[in-house]
């Protein structure tokens, strides 16, 4: 219980940091968010590559160069750490996907939520994902989702779905197997409900595993 309270305190603290003044316009908030993302990229020595370069590299990012591909249409930045084992979700397929994640507030550069703590070791954020005509939709199982519990919303952030065309979903069956692992900078428009309402970006470190 103490760890739950502690994590909620972190979230509330981050919320207070990103709370906007009443006189701020939405444009002001978006500009502040853009500046925060740029500062985060500089601070962490992120090498931004274009979608064309990403494609030319076989839809991979070079982690030795700290590459992140920028998706212009969404504003999401993605680094593929591990492609993963298994298969890419097929068109018309619905699958259970299990995620472990860290969520960092970009503006504060502070961890504000994670399901990697001992208290929630048995809870892997579970979402049901469907692919139709190349489009992914998903929702969390609130009974097994820290993100849904904290933000009181079962909608999966759109930014979390961006990696799905490029990663494989499987389960570890040998010591050499590695789960799909990505890092994302997700602007408010592609984030969860609270990030969208308060207009702040989040950085995520996520693993994806196919459920049963």
pLDDT in tens, the chain (212 residues): 444 434 544 555 555 544 544 578 999 999 999 999 999 999 999 999 999 999 999 999 999 999 999 999 999 999 999 999 999 999 999 999 999 999 999 999 999 999 988 666 678 999 999 999 989 999 999 889 999 999 999 999 999 999 999 999 999 988 889 999 999 999 999 999 999 999 999 999 999 999 98
**What is the Cβ-side half-sphere exposure of residue 119, based on CA atoms within 13 angstroms?**
11
Can you give the residue range of the structural domain that contains 179? 2-210
- pLDDT of 5 reads 39
Sign of the CA dihedral 153, 8, 200, 198?
Answer: positive
Place of tokens 């494609």: 55
**What is the Cβ-side half-sphere exposure of residue 37, based on CA atoms within 13 angstroms?**
23
CATH number of the domain within which 18 lies: 3.10.50.40
> What is the number of structural domains in the chain?
1
- pLDDT of 23 reads 72
Q: Under a CB-based contact definition with an 8 Å cutoff, are residues 113 and 11 in contact?
A: yes
Q: How far apart are CA 209 and CA 212, in angstroms?
A: 10
């Amino acid at each position: 219980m103490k760890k739950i309270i502690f994590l909620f305190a972190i979230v509330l603290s981050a919320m207070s940091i990103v709370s906007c003044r009443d006189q701020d316009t939405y444009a002001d908030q978006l500009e502040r968010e853009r500046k925060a993302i740029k500062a985060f990229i500089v601070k962490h020595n992120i090498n931004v590559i274009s979608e064309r370069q990403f494609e030319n590299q076989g839809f991979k990012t070079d982690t030795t160069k700290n590459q992140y591909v920028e998706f212009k249409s969404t504003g999401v930045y993605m680094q593929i750490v591990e492609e993963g084992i298994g298969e890419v979700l097929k068109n018309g397929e619905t699958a259970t996907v299990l995620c472990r994640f860290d969520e960092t507030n970009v503006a504060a550069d502070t961890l504000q939520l994670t399901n990697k703590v001992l208290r929630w070791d048995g809870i892997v954020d579970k979402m049901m994902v469907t692919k139709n005509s190349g489009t992914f939709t998903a929702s969390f199982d609130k009974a097994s989702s820290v993100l849904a519990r904290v933000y009181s919303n079962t909608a999966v952030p759109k930014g979390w779905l961006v990696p799905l065309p490029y990663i494989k979903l499987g389960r570890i069956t040998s010591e050499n197997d590695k789960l799909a692992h990505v890092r994302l900078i997700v602007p408010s428009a592609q984030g969860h409900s609270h990030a969208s309402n308060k207009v702040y970006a989040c950085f995520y470190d996520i693993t994806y595993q196919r459920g049963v």
